[in-house]
């Protein structure tokens, strides 16, 4: 089991698929802000010894596949990640204060799912999520022609 990690008396392999969104699900994760958010999330994960296996920033949400040590609860980690990253995002981009209120960037709550032996399936889903969303958006846009107009 080479993917297992260890603490002093524990062997562990705790992986979680986490999804969280900006406040009001605004589509704000673009360009420079997207790169900044990626750098911030990577740095915060390194500080807590959380390994990012796969991650992808969509325009209106973040997908992460992470390995969290068992000494830390998922809720504690998410509170830390969303709280600190919100402060750091506002420090880097002061104009967000006018659009998103004072120091709030992420919505309350998140989605989390444990990942067992299907890690490759979840990682592939995260990688291909953006292209699937684009295809779904293109399929839902119809050119409607009114049959009663000539």
> Is 125 among the catalytic positions?
yes
What is the signed CA dihedral for 139, 145, 146, 150, rounded to 10 degrees? -170
* Tokens read off for 71: 């000494």
What span, in angstroms and rounded, lies between the C-alpha atoms of 36 and 134? 23
* Residue in 24, 30, 80, 125 annotated catalytic: 125
What span, in angstroms and rounded, lies between the C-alpha atoms of 92 and 124? 31
Output the CA angle 9-11-14, nearest 5 degrees: 130
Residue numbers annotated as active site: 125
């Amino acid at each position: 089991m080479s993917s297992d990690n260890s603490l002093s008396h524990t062997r562990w392999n705790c992986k979680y698929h986490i999804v969280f969104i900006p406040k009001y699900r605004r589509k704000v994760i673009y360009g420079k802000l997207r790169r900044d958010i990626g750098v911030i999330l990577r740095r915060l994960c390194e500080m807590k010894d959380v390994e990012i296996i796969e991650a992808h920033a969509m325009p209106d949400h973040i997908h992460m596949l992470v390995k969290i040590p068992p000494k830390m609860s998922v809720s504690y980690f998410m509170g830390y990640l969303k709280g600190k990253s919100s402060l750091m995002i506002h420090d880097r981009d002061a104009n967000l204060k006018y659009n998103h209120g004072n120091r709030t960037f992420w919505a309350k709550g998140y989605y989390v799912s444990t990942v067992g032996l299907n890690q490759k399936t979840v990682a592939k889903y995260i990688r291909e999520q953006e292209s699937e969303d684009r295809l779904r958006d293109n399929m839902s846009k119809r050119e409607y022609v009114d049959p009663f107009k000539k």
